[in-house]
Amino acid sequence: MIKVLLVDDDFLVRTFLSRVTDWEKHGYTLVGAAQDGEEALHMVQEYQPDIIITDISMPVMDGIELIRRLKQAGNTAKMIALSCHDDFDYVKEAMKLGIDEYILKNLLTEESLLKLLDEMKRSIVSTNQSGLQFHAPDEEREYYLQLLRGGEPKPEDSFVASAAMAVSILNYDTHVAIMPMEQQKRFHSSFAQICREACQNASAVRCVHVKQGLYAVLLDFTGIPSVYERREKIQQYASAAVRYVEQYLAISVCIGTSRVESFQTSLQQCWEQAKDAGNERFYAPQTVFYGWQVQEMGKEIPELARQFSENIAGYIARKEGGMIRQQWEAVLEEFRLQHTQQWLVEEWLRQTDREAGIKQRAVPSRLDQFRGLEAAYITFKEEMLPELDHYSSAVNQTIRYLQRNHKNDASLQEAAEQVHLNAAYLSHIFSKETGITFSEYLLSCRINTAKELLVHTGDKIRDVGAQSGFHDYRNFCKTFKRVTGVTPQNYRKQCN
């Protein structure tokens, strides 16, 4: 692969260049993008690019000075100068210094750029970054994946990863997975380039596509002895990555970082620390989590959660709605206190649903979204609250009110007026006597009516929702699935 380095002070130009073509498809790999000539000199030393595409007019160190220094140092990389119409005097100077080609920015297209690059490719012998030689991008990716799994680096690899960031794309399924494969390849290239941009194009950085929606950003901090400075650097990099991918790729990410206190930690350990830190999002509504701040994850399901799963069928059979709700809240709090690993909580919910006789439902990605899921264990039974003589007169009348009016705009306030009680007091005695809340029983009435209509009529799903008391179609479908574990459409298919 021919290595290409981009140099331009305009972030939009650098982003455009990184996405103007499918570099790897045409035999090129982008090794980085510098913001000025001074930064480019460091990156040239680290990456040894075969081709340098540089802007002429830049702050700190412009393209002319960059070209002059590279030529004086005997660098043999091919050079393409980018210029505007009013940069012609600079272009002439660059040509005297020995640039290979130049192109006007307003005329830059994929075709014109590839034509220039292909003319240079014939005389170039490709070598890869860090002194390593790879024959294909997949080979390079597999090398770094092996390092993440605990493999040994090659002797000629001068890159020493001493810290890592685990970058997860939160909306991968809706924003990336739906792309055609060719477009996905470009996305991965652009994402990696933007991660390097976020790391201020530090030469000691690698970005590896680990799996769908997950990337590893590897950092070499061996030249930074101060722990404080290493922490400061990784904080800057992570914050910038969040901003850049949102602004330029319209995606949202969550980032976990490794600890940075020791150079004795292996890359595999750094990567595990970064992933564990990223998993903190299950408990906290943040975007970036730093390895030295996070709590260690619990590796076992709490005993209280196990007992709830074992007892749920009995709670349902005895219609102990109050116990279900009380125990559910206690279980969630126990998960929070023990900081149980997310995958264990997810498996616990699936097991509990199986014990309760509920079909598998979507598992939330955050613990706070588990609140309210216990309603499925309370409302999915058709015979809920069948024996009205067990309750006081006010609660009895309220149940009958809901049975008659749940298809309409039934409300606690209206029910309270009918039994001549304060709404708050009625809510209290209703929950105390029945074991479920007013809202839960209202929802159960509406869900049961919807089930009846789905099984015994051919009405459209939208009409079924409206006839059951749900005035918003999307809310009906979402609520029905949350309560029953299946969509209204699938429920109808299963029962017919």
- DSSP track, 324-388: HHHHHHHHHHHHHHHTB-HHHHHHHHHHHHHHHTPPP-PPPSSGGGGTTTTHHHHHS-TTSS--G
More confident residue, 124 or 252: 252
Q: Could you tell me the pLDDT band of residue 381, with boundaries at 50, 70 and 90?
A: very low
Distance between CA 490 and CA 496 in Å, rounded?
Answer: 10
Which of 34-48, 131-145, 322-336, 373-387 shows the lowest mean pLDDT across its residues?
373-387
The pLDDT of 1-6, averaged and rounded, is 86
Q: Could you tell me the pLDDT band of residue 282, with boundaries at 50, 70 and 90?
A: very high
Closest Cα to residue 308, out of 266, 349, 279, 360? 349
Inform me whether the pLDDT recorded for 122 exceeds 70.
Answer: no
> What's the Cα-to-Cα distance from 421 to each of 293, 388, 417, 429, rounded to whole Å?
51, 19, 6, 11
Which of 119-123, 316-320, 328-332, 427-431 shows the lowest mean pLDDT across its residues?
119-123
The pLDDT of 405-416, averaged and rounded, is 93
Inform me whether the pLDDT recorded for 277 exceeds 90.
Answer: yes
The pLDDT of 77-102, averaged and rounded, is 72
The pLDDT of 228-254, averaged and rounded, is 91
Inform me whether the pLDDT recorded for 217 exceeds 70.
Answer: yes
Inform me whether the pLDDT recorded for 154 exceeds 90.
Answer: no
Neighbours of 486 (CB within 10 A): 17
Q: What percent of the chain has pLDDT over 70?
A: 91
Inform me whether the pLDDT recorded for 128 exceeds 50.
Answer: no
Report the DSSP pairing between strands 28-34 and 51-55: unpaired
Inform me whether the pLDDT recorded for 382 exceeds 80.
Answer: no
- For the CA atoms of 181, 186, 188, 194, the dihedral, rounded to the nearest 10 degrees, stands at -160
Q: Could you tell me the pLDDT band of residue 225, with boundaries at 50, 70 and 90?
A: confident
pLDDT at 129: 45
Edge-first strand order for the sheet with 28-34 is 28-34, 2-7, 51-55, 78-83, 101-104
pLDDT at 496: 61
pLDDT at 273: 94
Inform me whether the pLDDT recorded for 132 exceeds 70.
Answer: no
Distance between CA 122 and CA 10 in Å, rounded?
Answer: 30
pTM above 0.75, yes or no: no
Inform me whether the pLDDT recorded for 407 exceeds 60.
Answer: yes
Sign of CA dihedral 258, 261, 262, 263: positive
Q: Could you tell me the pLDDT band of residue 421, with boundaries at 50, 70 and 90?
A: very high
**Token pair belonging to 87:** 């940069």
Q: Which helix (H) or strand (E) holds 67?
A: helix 63-72
Inform me whether the pLDDT recorded for 476 exceeds 70.
Answer: yes
Distance between CA 215 and CA 278 in Å, rounded?
Answer: 12
Closest Cα to residue 492, out of 111, 481, 348, 284? 481
Inform me whether the pLDDT recorded for 97 exceeds 80.
Answer: no
Which of 1-15, 208-222, 240-254, 377-391 shows the lowest mean pLDDT across its residues?
377-391
The pLDDT of 259-279, averaged and rounded, is 91
More confident residue, 192 or 292: 292
**Token pair belonging to 427:** 């809510």
Q: What percent of the chain has pLDDT over 90?
A: 40
Inform me whether the pLDDT recorded for 83 exceeds 70.
Answer: yes
pLDDT at 406: 92
Q: Could you tell me the pLDDT band of residue 127, with boundaries at 50, 70 and 90?
A: very low
Closest Cα to residue 436, out of 394, 364, 483, 378? 378
User: What 8-state DSSP symbol labels residue 100?
Assistant: S
Distance between CA 470 and CA 472 in Å, rounded?
Answer: 6
Q: Long-range contacts of range 311-316, CB-CB < 8 Å, 24 or more positions apart?
A: 312/352, 312/355, 312/356, 312/377, 313/355, 313/356, 313/357, 315/377, 316/356, 316/357, 316/377, 316/381
Report the DSSP pairing between strands 101-104 and 78-83: parallel
**Token pair belonging to 13:** 């130009």
Max CA pair span of the chain: 101
Inform me whether the pLDDT recorded for 126 exceeds 60.
Answer: no
Residue with tokens 């040239």: 44
Q: What is the mean pLDDT of the chain?
A: 86
**287-310 tens-digit pLDDT:** 999 999 988 889 999 999 999 999
DSSP track, 257-288: E---S-SSS-HHHHHHHHHHHHGGGGTS--SE
pLDDT at 72: 80
Q: Could you tell me the pLDDT band of residue 362, with boundaries at 50, 70 and 90?
A: confident
> What's the Cα-to-Cα distance from 247 to each of 191, 226, 252, rounded to whole Å?
12, 32, 10
Distance between CA 427 and CA 421 in Å, rounded?
Answer: 10
| Highest-confidence segment of 171-185, 243-257, 367-381 | 243-257
Q: Which helix (H) or strand (E) holds 210?
A: strand 205-211
Which of 165-169, 330-334, 384-388, 472-476 shows the lowest mean pLDDT across its residues?
384-388
pLDDT at 125: 42
